[in-house]
A and B are shown apart, each in its own frame.
Chain A
């Protein structure tokens, strides 16, 4: 079976970079002028590791994810996306199609509506296999059952004949994962895959993704606004704010000693720096419209530490500790527990 060929060949392979994004920027044209949704974003995904991409709604997480699949339309994209050593920037639509679902896959936030209601789940998974693997109908159906079994769906032969409406939300998300992983992609992009599910099902889905990346060595980009989820199972974290990655590093490191005021705010921790610091438990103000990006540090209007320097100059993305980057003039922030 072909899936064995795609399995990680050795342990050393884990951690090797598969996809790296450098200086990615995405600008949409709106009637009111260009809107920069993603600005100078860099990160990389490694074999068998999970990168958590955290941020509020509208910070550019999902656009970043879509751009990794070439699904962002009518926007100017800058920067470089290297996948397996190849630049994806100049790919034709046809080349993209051979990558999507086969080398890079994506699962979505809404499992309830992400499956076609008029076909059985088996047919839908088989369709993907037939396109990418050029399997016969019978082989594709067989592999679809294998894919369903792989995501721990009980009685996969029976479930393959079910229509999506007969399955629960958690079950549908499993089917989506089975479909996304059917062709053994090297990269899985999970765009808030557990947001629409209830908590116990959430834990099952997370455990499943965790298990699959260990078994198949898939690199995972996990997009969420839930830091609890990140703390639980991401290896690395990147925090996004208004189209920028403001802080990134190993999950344990970043969550234990966050260096960007925005990360601090998200974590709801209380730095005992001075009396004003207590306001940090809630991030004051609102996320500015992307069309009205503040000057200097984009966070300065809401930042309790900000001064005129922050309002004037854009802070560089610098390595403040080994493998821990932050874009803040004030970092390192002294925390007194």
Chain B
């Protein structure tokens, strides 16, 4: 989507991107967010390779150990190293969050933009479809989709994306309804722009910022939703770790081994925080009026 918008930005695209980076550096909030995200990505790649423990190897002599010199984050009920599982689980959680939200953002925005801009019967049909999706509790819908398609990480991602499409579509439509009445849209029409070009070149860039923030917020719930799905055996399959299934796993041991819940919880919290800070900063930076 953004490539189309970027096409209109023309020759200043390069400098605009550099400007975005520069301003991100100057803005402490989004800087912190960016540092957190980079740290998590590094952990998931480099950290997982360096840490000596295997995330799936059970060691029944060392079960439910609190954090110690050898197992910094402790061990779980099967004696697996929790830090190793966190590091490897980061991959799954980041993948689920990024891909499912990304797909939902693109599809939902397209649907909402077309519905809001074109209006009439197309609006009615598209939004009623969205209402149908929206009417189901999201977990139930994701459950149904993964149940039908079969349990795998790929299908879990797809299910989460489907759940979020109507969320983006609704916001995109609401924003489009506001923007399409703006004088500059009518001015573009009076300048002889055809409707498709106005929709993508003029309306889309103006509705995008709040959608990106919504995306950063939903990224968090995507990680959580994946945890439900894997808890129910529909997401990533054991023994492979994800932050979500680690957290679910920990519920049974909250009394005797609370650290099993602490660390995946903190990991999810930090990832969500990082993306929210970045999303917030991005929204501010995308509005030229604030520059």
Main secondary structure of the interface of B (DSSP, over half): helix
Question: What would 21 A/B residue contacts be, using CB atoms closer than 8 Å?
Answer: A93-B194, A97-B193, A97-B194, A99-B192, A100-B190, A100-B191, A101-B191, A113-B182, A114-B187, A115-B187, A116-B205, A117-B287, A118-B288, A119-B8, A123-B8, A123-B9, A126-B10, A128-B191, A137-B10, A165-B288, A179-B191
CA distance A141 to B9 in the complex (A): 11
Min CB distance A94 to B, Å, is 8
Determine the residue in chain B with the shortest Cβ distance to A165. B289
- B190: chain A residues at CB < 8 Å are 69, 71, 100-101, 105-106, 108
Q: Check if A4 is an interface residue, CB within 8 A of chain B.
A: no
Q: Say whether, besides A117-B206, A119-B9, A128 and B288 are in contact (CB < 8 Å).
A: no
CA distance A179 to B192 in the complex (A): 12
Min CB distance B11 to A, Å, is 6
Q: Say whether, besides A117-B206, A126-B10, A127-B8, A110 and B183 are in contact (CB < 8 Å).
A: yes
CA distance A108 to B186 in the complex (A): 10
Q: Which of A99-137 contact B (CB under 8 A)?
A: 99-102, 105-106, 108, 110, 113-120, 123, 126-128, 131-132, 137
Q: Check if B202 is an interface residue, CB within 8 A of chain A.
A: yes
Q: Check if A328 is an interface residue, CB within 8 A of chain B.
A: no
Q: Are A123 and B288 in contact (CB under 8 A)?
A: no
Q: Are B197 and A131 in contact (CB under 8 A)?
A: yes
Q: Render B180-220 as a binary contact track against A, CB cut-off 8 A, 1 for contact.
A: 00111011111111100100011001100000000000000
Min CB distance A194 to B, Å, is 16
Interface, chain A (partner B; CB < 8 A): 69, 71, 93-94, 96-102, 105-106, 108, 110, 113-120, 123, 126-128, 131-132, 137-138, 141, 161, 163, 165, 176, 179-180
- B191: chain A residues at CB < 8 Å are 100-101, 105, 128, 131, 179-180
Q: How many residues on chain B are close to A (CB under 8 Å)? A: 27
- B189: chain A residues at CB < 8 Å are 71, 100
Question: Residue B289 contacts which of A100, A117, A123 (CB distance < 8 angstroms)?
Answer: A117
Question: Residue B193 contacts which of A117, A131, A141, A165 (CB distance < 8 angstroms)?
Answer: A131
CA distance A98 to B190 in the complex (A): 10
Determine the residue in chain A with the shortest Cβ distance to B286. A118
CA distance A192 to B184 in the complex (A): 16
Q: Check if B12 is an interface residue, CB within 8 A of chain A.
A: yes
Q: Are A100 and B192 in contact (CB under 8 A)?
A: yes
Q: Check if B291 is an interface residue, CB within 8 A of chain A.
A: yes
CA distance A172 to B10 in the complex (A): 21
Q: Are B192 and A97 in contact (CB under 8 A)?
A: yes
Determine the residue in chain B with the shortest Cβ distance to A180. B191
- A126: chain B residues at CB < 8 Å are 10
Question: Residue A101 contacts which of B9, B192, B287 (CB distance < 8 angstroms)?
Answer: B192
Known pairs A108-B183, A115-B184 / 19 extra A-B pairs, C-beta < 8 Å: A71-B190, A96-B192, A97-B193, A102-B192, A108-B187, A113-B182, A115-B187, A116-B188, A116-B205, A117-B184, A117-B206, A117-B287, A117-B289, A118-B206, A118-B287, A127-B8, A128-B193, A132-B192, A137-B11
